[in-house]
């Protein structure tokens, strides 16, 4: 697909899959073409979801594009409701034909935020950033926060305790 | 000793570049340009269409950042703001990496929309809230987005000025170079030369930047700060 701008940057050297071609409608002009991104699996978090896969997504994010670019889509959601209720919700509505599975997961975006629902947990993000500097400390983070809690409720209870 | 901060000086310089009635957009991690644009909007540019990413009151889109990027690719943005981990004398920006791109000394955040917006926004203000020879280099290690382009490249827009805590550069499209326009009050030419990694010779005529007025500072510290806090709460807490 074409992207405006870009031509003459070092992306042409660093990203050989990016191609510069003559504009078919104005051949003296050069335009950048990039291949479409295709994902095998997308994991996204929705404001609301229905059992048939209908989703309501945060309007500032690009999750609706990610859904259409991915073979398998697993959506966690703040709430499960009927498809008609999801379609009537404020946000970007995606039909269930694109979605493989939905999971009810309140505060599923923690430690990041869902606008209008809950704020970022800045202390937890800082802990993650500090742990991410090397493999050893990051393994410690995974042990404590990913593999340690028995489920999401236990994870949130531990996060809220601090 | 001045009674305003470097960020307030930068925001004031930015405000003076905003024209009434035009479409002005501010990207991510840019509370200082957001402050400058809102200062202009609350004074001489009440009819400007203001877009601030992540701001609940200044985000007129419903379908993610794609809708904004498509809007920008169609050439609808009159004024935008960009920065770089390195910026060179030709207005080239590096947001990729310092050193070898595959084994970098410093990994920079990546270009995101910068390589498109630098061409498609009609005027682009470059900004840094720090000024050192590590940032203002003779030649960037990687060109995320070039300051200028040959005629075969569709490029309606490009750089206008570059504002820092020390000075304002203006981009000369004929020379394809950043030229010193003014030095902020209290900054010596020696300090500026020491902190800039490219030669400033041939820039003799630069004057002194007009500092913020008392009215501008009052607005920046009250109404503008409150509005910026809606998108940047932590920045607004720290600004004093």
A21-55: pLDDT as tens digits: 999 999 999 999 999 999 999 999 999 999 999 99
Instruction: Tokens for A31, please give them.
Output: 């335009």
Neighbours of B164 (CB within 10 A): 26
Q: In angstroms, what separates the C-alpha of A2 from chain B's closest C-alpha?
A: 11
Would you call B145 and A9 a contact, using CB atoms and an 8 Å cutoff? yes
Angle between helices B6-17 and B31-41 (to 10 degrees): 50
Q: How far apart are CA A43 and CA A99, in angstroms?
A: 10
pLDDT of A115: 87
Nearest residue in chain A measured CA to CA from B120: A5
Output the pTM of the full model: 0.91
pLDDT of B238: 73
Of A7, A31, A122, the CB nearest to B149: A7
3-state class of B12 per DSSP? helix
Q: In angstroms, what separates the C-alpha of A51 from chain B's closest C-alpha?
A: 23
Q: What is the mean pLDDT of residues B175-192?
A: 95
B217-237: pLDDT as tens digits: 999 999 999 999 998 887 878
Block residue for tokens 């593999």: A147
pLDDT of B235: 81
Cβ neighbours of A23 in B, within 8 Å? 154
Nearest residue in chain B measured CA to CA from A29: B152
B133-147: pLDDT as tens digits: 999 999 999 999 999
Of A28, A29, A59, the CB nearest to B62: A59
Identify which of A66, A120, A63, A121 has the alpha carbon closest to the alpha carbon of residue A92. A63
By the 8 A CB rule, do A16 and A69 touch? no
A79-137: pLDDT as tens digits: 999 999 999 999 999 999 999 999 999 999 999 999 889 999 999 999 999 999 999 99
Q: How far apart are CA B60 and CA B67, in angstroms?
A: 10
Q: What is the mean pLDDT of residues B127-137?
A: 98
Question: Three-state secondary structure along chain A?
Answer: CEECCCCCCCHHHHCCCCEEEEECCEEEEEEEECCCCCEEEEEEEEEEECCCCCEEECCCCCHHHHHHHEEEEEEEEEEECCHHHHHCCCCEEECHHHCCEEEECCCCCCCCCECCCECCCHHHHHHHHHHCCCHHHHHHHHHHHHHCCCCHHHHHHHHHHC
pLDDT of A87: 97
pLDDT of B239: 56
- Count interface pairs A-B at CB distance under 8 A: 77
Q: Predicted confidence band at B240 (pLDDT cuts at 50, 70, 90)?
A: very low
DSSP B224: I
Q: Is it the case that residue B1 has pLDDT exceeding 80?
A: no
Block residue for tokens 């805590």: B165
Cβ neighbours of A11 in B, within 8 Å? 111, 115, 144
Q: Predicted confidence band at A60 (pLDDT cuts at 50, 70, 90)?
A: confident
The answer to whether B118 contacts chain A (CB < 8 Å) is yes
3-state class of B181 per DSSP? strand
The answer to whether B152 contacts chain A (CB < 8 Å) is yes
Q: How many residues does chain A have?
A: 162
Q: How far apart are CA A71 and CA A4, in angstroms?
A: 28
Phi and psi (nearest 5°) for B101? -65, -30
Cβ neighbours of B115 in A, within 8 Å? 5-6, 9, 11
B144-161: pLDDT as tens digits: 999 999 998 999 999 999
The answer to whether B104 contacts chain A (CB < 8 Å) is no
B194-208: pLDDT as tens digits: 999 999 987 777 899
The answer to whether B86 contacts chain A (CB < 8 Å) is no
């Amino acid at each position: 697909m074409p992207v405006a701008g870009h031509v003459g940057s070092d992306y042409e050297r660093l990203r050989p899959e990016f191609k510069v071609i003559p504009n078919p409608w104005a051949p003296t002009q050069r335009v950048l073409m990039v291949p479409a991104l295709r994902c095998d699996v997308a994991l996204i978090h929705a404001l609301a979801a229905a059992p048939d896969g209908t989703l309501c997504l945060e309007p500032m994010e690009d999750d609706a594009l990610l859904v259409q670019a991915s073979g398998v889509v697993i959506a966690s959601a703040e709430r499960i409701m009927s498809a008609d209720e999801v379609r009537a919700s404020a946000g970007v509505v995606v039909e269930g034909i694109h979605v493989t599975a939905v999971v009810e997961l309140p505060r599923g975006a923690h430690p990041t935020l869902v606008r209008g629902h809950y704020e970022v947990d800045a202390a937890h993000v800082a802990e993650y950033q500090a742990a991410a500097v090397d493999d050893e400390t990051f393994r410690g983070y995974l042990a404590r926060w990913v593999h340690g809690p028995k489920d999401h409720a236990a994870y949130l209870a531990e996060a809220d305790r601090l | 000793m001045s009674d305003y901060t470097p960020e307030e000086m930068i925001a004031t310089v930015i405000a003076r570049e905003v024209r009434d009635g035009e479409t002005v957009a501010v990207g991510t991690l840019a509370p200082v340009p957001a402050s400058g644009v809102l200062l202009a909007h609350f004074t001489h540019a009440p009819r400007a269409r203001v877009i601030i990413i992540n701001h609940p009151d200044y985000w007129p889109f419903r379908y993610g950042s794609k809708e904004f990027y498509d809007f920008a690719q169609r050439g609808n943005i009159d004024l935008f703001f960009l920065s770089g981990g390195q910026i060179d004398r030709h207005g080239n920006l590096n947001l990729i990496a310092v050193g070898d791109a595959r084994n970098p000394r410093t990994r920079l955040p990546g270009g995101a929309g910068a390589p498109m917006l630098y061409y498609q926004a009609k005027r682009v203000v470059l900004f840094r809230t720090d000024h050192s020879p590590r940032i203002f280099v003779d030649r960037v290690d990687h060109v995320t987005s070039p300051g200028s382009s040959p005629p075969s490249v569709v490029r309606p827009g490009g750089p206008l000025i570059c504002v820092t805590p020390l000075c304002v550069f203006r981009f000369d499209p004929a020379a394809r170079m950043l030229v010193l326009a003014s030095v902020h009050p209290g900054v010596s030419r020696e300090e500026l030369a020491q902190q800039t990694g490219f030669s400033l010779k041939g820039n003799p005529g630069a004057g002194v930047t007009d500092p913020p007025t008392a009215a501008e500072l009052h607005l920046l510290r009250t109404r503008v700060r409150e509005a910026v806090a809606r998108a940047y709460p932590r920045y607004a807490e720290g600004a004093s």
